Amino acid sequence: MQSPKKIIQDLSREELSELIQPAFRAKQIYHWIYHQYATSFEEMKNLPKEMKKKLDEEYTVAPLKQVMVQNSKDGSRKYLYQLHDGHTVEAVLLLMRAKEFHEDGSVKHQERYTVCISSQVGCKVGCAFCLTAKGGFMRNLTAGEIVEQVRLIKKDNDIAANRRVNLVYMGMGEPLDNLQEVAKSVKIFAEEEGMAIATHRQTISTSGLSSKIERLGKMELGINLAISLHAVDDELREKLMPINKAYNIASIITAVKNFPVNDRKRVMFEYLVIKDVNDDISAAKKLLSLLDGIKAKVNLIYFNPYGGTEFKRPSDADMHEFQDYLTKRGLHCTIRESKGLDISAACGQLREQEIEGEV
């Protein structure tokens, strides 16, 4: 994997057409990559030998190598991938609903999948509760390295090209700190001739880089937005998330209010609940007023402890009390079922991030 070759998945559909002539050849290659899940040019049987050879000299179709997979009892699977420079990133396949059958044996519901992907190796944001932050920041992923996580997961799980999956940019890294490549990956995912994952099935989660939220909004990609809020006053948020010194809560709320939200969607506010830190009802009260006037929904997440952290998981009772306070006052609020909890949570955050029923 020490290959300095360029990554073919980094190319958008248009860029591939510019590179490959005649046009139908580019279409064939796209099909091989995203429908047949080819991992070499050699496999692309209907291409001329010379073309395969030339492409192979300059490009790779296999920029990521699977180095580990862990299976959870609930059907979720967590993957570790190695990049060409030796760094590793995680991605998780979350089984949101298992396949269900009618009594006569016919299929009632297909499985429902969400793939959680990484956008950086490490992260610069440095949140106090996050394991990814502990390792520091290494580098941004390219669009192709982001796209490849989903392609490999679909291939490994025999998920047909035309099967719908949802995507969440909630793995390692801060997507808006790598906005250009992330935006490009969103478009490549949505490409009709490729994986055709509509942008309304993709959710970008951010720690709240307000200026980048504004910029993302202006791109009009049609993606869903999730904000990792975790605290309702600036003092506590600064302690948990140092980025809050640069972008405070008020700036995030303003950016969200300017963000183009699909008519049938809401902006998700993630609230990581940490025992005795942010789990009291006064925080719920403040949250309610903060989100006033925003088409929002709240997702409460149990803090997932790991070795060496000072933070603790909240009690079920406190979680439900927090949720009840909000739902009784008309705010959509769900508690995140932690899928794949029995999988060792190496980065501490690759978790179920599904937007229930709405995606």
* Token code pair at residue 337: 């079922």
Query: Which residues would be at the binding site for ligand SAH (CB under 6 A)?
Result: 129-130, 170, 174, 205-207, 228, 270, 272, 301, 303-304, 348-349, 351
126 binds ligand SF4 (CB under 6 A): yes
| Binding site partner of 272, from ligand SF4, ligand SAH, none, Cβ cut-off 5-8 A by kind | ligand SAH
User: Which DSSP symbol is given to 208?
Assistant: -
- Letters for 203-242 (x = contact with ligand SF4 by CB under 6 A, - = none) are ----x--------------------x--------------
- Choices 51-59, 94-102, 128-136, 231-239 (CB under 6 A): range interacting with ligand SF4: 128-136
Contact 127, 240 (CB under 8 A): yes
CA 32 to chain CA centroid, Å, is: 25
Minimum distance, C-beta of residue 270 to ligand SAH, in the bound complex (Å): 4
Minimum distance, C-beta of residue 30 to ligand SAH, in the bound complex (Å): 29
Q: Which residues are catalytic?
A: 90, 347
CA-based torsion, 15, 18, 23, 28: positive or negative? negative
Strands of 173-310 (E only): list them.
202-206, 224-228, 267-273, 296-302
Contact 43, 35 (CB under 8 A): no
Query: Does a cis peptide bond (omega within 30 degrees of 0) precede residue 22?
Result: yes
Task: List Cβ neighbours of 280 (8 Å cut-off, separation of 6 or more).
Answer: none
Minimum distance, C-beta of residue 7 to ligand SAH, in the bound complex (Å): 23
Residue 59, φ and ψ in degrees, nearest 5:
-120, 155
Task: Quote the CA–CA distance of 164 and 162 in Å, as a whole number.
Answer: 6
Residue whose CB is less far from ligand SF4, 194 or 348: 348
Residue whose CB is less far from ligand SF4, 92 or 125: 125
7 binds ligand SF4 (CB under 6 A): no
Residue whose CB is less far from ligand SAH, 76 or 206: 206
| Binding site partner of 252, from ligand SAH, ligand SF4, none, Cβ cut-off 5-8 A by kind | none
Residue whose CB is less far from ligand SF4, 123 or 225: 123
Minimum distance, C-beta of residue 93 to ligand SF4, in the bound complex (Å): 19
- Choices 22-30, 127-135, 214-222, 317-325 (CB under 6 A): range interacting with ligand SF4: 127-135
Residue whose CB is less far from ligand SF4, 38 or 255: 255
Strands of the chain (E only): list them.
6-7, 59-60, 65-71, 77-82, 88-97, 100-101, 107-109, 112-116, 120-122, 137-140, 165-169, 202-206, 224-228, 267-273, 296-302, 332-335
Minimum distance, C-beta of residue 229 to ligand SF4, in the bound complex (Å): 11
Of 216, 202, 164, nearest in space to 354 by CA: 202
Residue whose CB is less far from ligand SAH, 30 or 81: 81
| Binding site partner of 126, from ligand SAH, ligand SF4, none, Cβ cut-off 5-8 A by kind | ligand SF4
150 binds ligand SF4 (CB under 6 A): no
Locus of tokens 């099967």? 163
Pairing of strands 88-97, 296-302: unpaired
Of 52, 73, 48, nearest in space to 61 by CA: 52
125 binds ligand SF4 (CB under 6 A): yes
The residue count for binding ligand SF4 (CB under 6 A) is 11
Conformational region of residue 230, where left means phi above 0, alpha means psi within -120 to 50, and beta covers everything else:
left
Residue whose CB is less far from ligand SAH, 77 or 351: 351
Task: Write out the residues near ligand SF4 by the rule CB under 6 A.
Answer: 123, 125-127, 130, 132-133, 173-174, 207, 228
